[in-house]
Amino acid sequence: MIRRATIQDVKTIHNALEHYAKEGLLLPRSLSDLYDNLRDFILYQKKGEVFGVSALHVCWENLGEIRSLAVLPPHTKQGIGRQLVNDCEKDAAELGLKKVFTLTYQESFFTGLGYQTIDKSQLPHKVWGDCLKCVKFPDCDEIAMIKTL
């Protein structure tokens, strides 16, 4: 049910992320950015239909970011998001990362997965490269959360 993304999935990923970006719940990603970072993405698929997407982005020698987590309606509240995050965490551990973080509006969801809220200033400056592209920069209202693997 969970698989690595392929070139053929880029437009599907883009559409899934745009759904939540339009609501201000996710950072929009351009097609170019998705092609550049395609190897970060996984999909939850069932009977040929994509229900959700997520990505693990390596940020530093011991730190990865869970990003672009989107479960499409009407497939929310079925444990798909949890499975996608768990798969990203497993991948992070296999790569040798010690911690993963996320910037999110879904604090209770990530708290339930063992993440702790932190001040954004605790994250390395390298993380903020994507923030410069965000319409909310510099007034970001996302919550930074981290988990030790």
- Two tokens, residue 87: 């798969």
CA 65 to chain centre: 7
pTM of the model: 0.91
Name the residue range of residue 15's domain.
2-148
Two structure tokens written together for 68: 């672009």
Contacts of 127 (CB under 8 A, 6+ apart): 59, 65, 101
Query: Which tokens hold the place of 128?
Result: 């903020």
- pLDDT, tens digit only, all 149 positions of the chain: 999 999 999 999 999 999 999 998 888 889 999 999 999 999 999 999 999 999 999 988 899 999 999 999 989 999 999 999 999 999 999 999 999 999 999 999 999 999 999 998 888 766 666 665 666 656 677 899 999 99
Tally of domains in the chain: 1
Please report which helix (H) or strand (E) contains residue 41, including its range.
strand 41-46
CATH number at 116 reads: 3.40.630.30
